[in-house]
Amino acid sequence: MIWNKQYECLDREKLEKLQAERLAALVSYAGERSPFYKKKIAQHKVRAEDIKTIEDIKKLPFTTKDDLRDNYPFGIFSQPVTEINELHVSSGTTGNPTVVGYAESDLELWGEVMARALCCAGAETEDMIQIAYGYGLFTGGLGVHYGARKMGLTVIPASSGQTKRQLKLMQDFKPRILACTPSYALFMAETAKDLGLDPRKSNWQIGIFGAEPWSESMRRSIEEEWNIIATDIYGLSEIIGPGVAQECTYKQGLHIFSDVFFPEVIDPVTGKEQAEGKDGELVVTTLTKRGMPVIRYRTRDIVSITYQTCACGRTSPRISKVKGRTDDMIIVRGINVFPSQIEHVLLNLEETQPHYQLIVDRKESGLDDLEVQVEIKEEFFSDEVKQLRAITAKIQNEINSVLGLSARVRLVEPRSLARSEGKAKRVIDKRKK
């Protein structure tokens, strides 16, 4: 079923007119209320009256992750934080996280777009869903939860982890839908087999997988292991969280809900619009958000877009699976990691140089593993192993608290990590694509 036929099957002309109206209203609203946008829009000398068609969006400035970082915590918001109903965070590029805020109507919007996403994936109102995305500050768990509640599904708010319990819930409660990261789905398959279960006989028939990049071959593995339809969901906290785009059962790209999240694909170097079907950086404008709307937010995700109507009947444009990043961000166990976060930690610790390397690998079980190699500073070399272990533990604790995930730290000899002219190759990603 299509959750909201009125907007999801709107013809292109009417949709573009709606988008233009919403964009003009957004420029007024954010220009007046957000300290950040007030300045930025004035600098760009653009006004709401200048937005006559949706093409006029090109007159507006871009917003970047650095803008959010520089205005930490609430400087981007269009409402005072006393009027914000919910806050979430995601990884920042240095020491502070990226903060996002939701007004009441934004929370309703979140429920609406996630309900659309669930229906895209094939959910029916009598279904039961097991949400194994983390609940808490991360937007994954609660976002899917709000959509499931809006649809009236029976929700199992399992959150992530406790794999044996996840499998027991699946066996005993018999949910038809599973929502979690694709690598966790594979990990659960391994655990199931270790427990003597046959994953192909599971109750899960539809999977809503995202929060990290995953390939077509990984999709095939998941579908074979679980005998499940594995669909891709896309989102980012800065826009709303999960629910920005979702694959329908035809799996020919992810429908992006452009009546509320207006997409552009640009050349990341020139900023100019990329042709339909050509790879570029996805830029999203939140047309109706009230708490923290963003204008032309550069996602740094590389996709291509198509405006052809899908066989499912939805007229929303479709983006490809994310093909890469314009920056060096990696995702480990569903969590965003910026190498610069590590650099920030190392610069602030007296025992270390900011020379490091990240080695990411995927264990046989399917879980991602992150090792941080750090050069030891000569003056902190201690003759005693326990002191070196203490230094390692200290670095590890600092990194873990900034990243929000546990990484192993390994001390290496000074000058042993490759230096290079220009940008040092900080990340070695050994995971198969």
Partner 1 sequence: MKITQISVFLENKQGRLFDACSLLGSKDISIRALTIAESEDFGVLRIVVDKPSLAVEALKKAGFVATFTDIVAVEVPDEPGGLSRVLKVFCDNSVNVEYMYGFVERFSEKALLVFRFDDPDQAIKVLRENSINVIGKQEIENL
Indicate the residue among 264 and 375 with the shorter CB distance to partner 1.
375
In which residue are the tokens 């003056």 written?
Answer: 379
Judge whether 46 and 59 are in contact, CB under 8 Å.
yes
Q: How far is the CB of 374 from partner 1 (least distance, A)?
A: 11
Does residue 376 interact with partner 1 by CB under 8 A? yes
Closest-CA residue to 182 (of 222, 131, 236): 222
Q: How far is the CB of 426 from partner 1 (least distance, A)?
A: 19
Bridge partner residues of 245 (DSSP): 234, 256
Binding test (CB under 8 A) with partner 1, winner from 107, 310, 359, 412: 412
Q: How far is the CB of 389 from partner 1 (least distance, A)?
A: 7
Q: How far is the CB of 370 from partner 1 (least distance, A)?
A: 15
Closest-CA residue to 15 (of 289, 261, 283): 261
Region of 313 (left: φ > 0; alpha: ψ -120 to 50; beta: rest) is: left
Judge whether 186 and 222 are in contact, CB under 8 Å.
yes
Indicate the residue among 46 and 412 with the shorter CB distance to partner 1.
412
Q: How far is the CB of 386 from partner 1 (least distance, A)?
A: 9
Q: How far is the CB of 420 from partner 1 (least distance, A)?
A: 18
Indicate the residue among 136 and 414 with the shorter CB distance to partner 1.
414
Alpha-carbon distance of 286 to 300, in angstroms, equals: 16
Burial environment of residue 325 by CB neighbours within 10 A (0 to 12, 13 to 18, 19 or more): middle
For residue 325, what are the CA distances in angstroms to 118, 282, 392? 26, 10, 31
Does residue 378 interact with partner 1 by CB under 8 A? yes
Does residue 363 interact with partner 1 by CB under 8 A? no
CA angle 132, 72, 427 (to 5 degrees): 60
Indicate the residue among 71 and 392 with the shorter CB distance to partner 1.
392
Burial environment of residue 135 by CB neighbours within 10 A (0 to 12, 13 to 18, 19 or more): middle
Interacting positions 382-411 with partner 1 (CB under 8 A): 383-385, 388-389, 410-411
Does residue 198 interact with partner 1 by CB under 8 A? no
Please choose, out of 112-120, 122-130, 201-209, 375-383, the segment that lies near partner 1 by the rule CB under 8 A.
Answer: 375-383
Please choose, out of 25-33, 131-139, 179-187, 380-388, the segment that lies near partner 1 by the rule CB under 8 A.
Answer: 380-388
Please choose, out of 96-104, 275-283, 292-300, 414-422, the segment that lies near partner 1 by the rule CB under 8 A.
Answer: 414-422
For the four alpha carbons of 243, 246, 248 and 249, in that order, the dihedral sign comes to negative
Does residue 416 interact with partner 1 by CB under 8 A? yes
Name the residue type at position 155. V
Indicate the residue among 1 and 393 with the shorter CB distance to partner 1.
393
Strand, helix or coil for residue 63: strand
Q: Which residues bind partner 1 (CB under 8 A)?
A: 376, 378, 381, 383-385, 388-389, 410-416
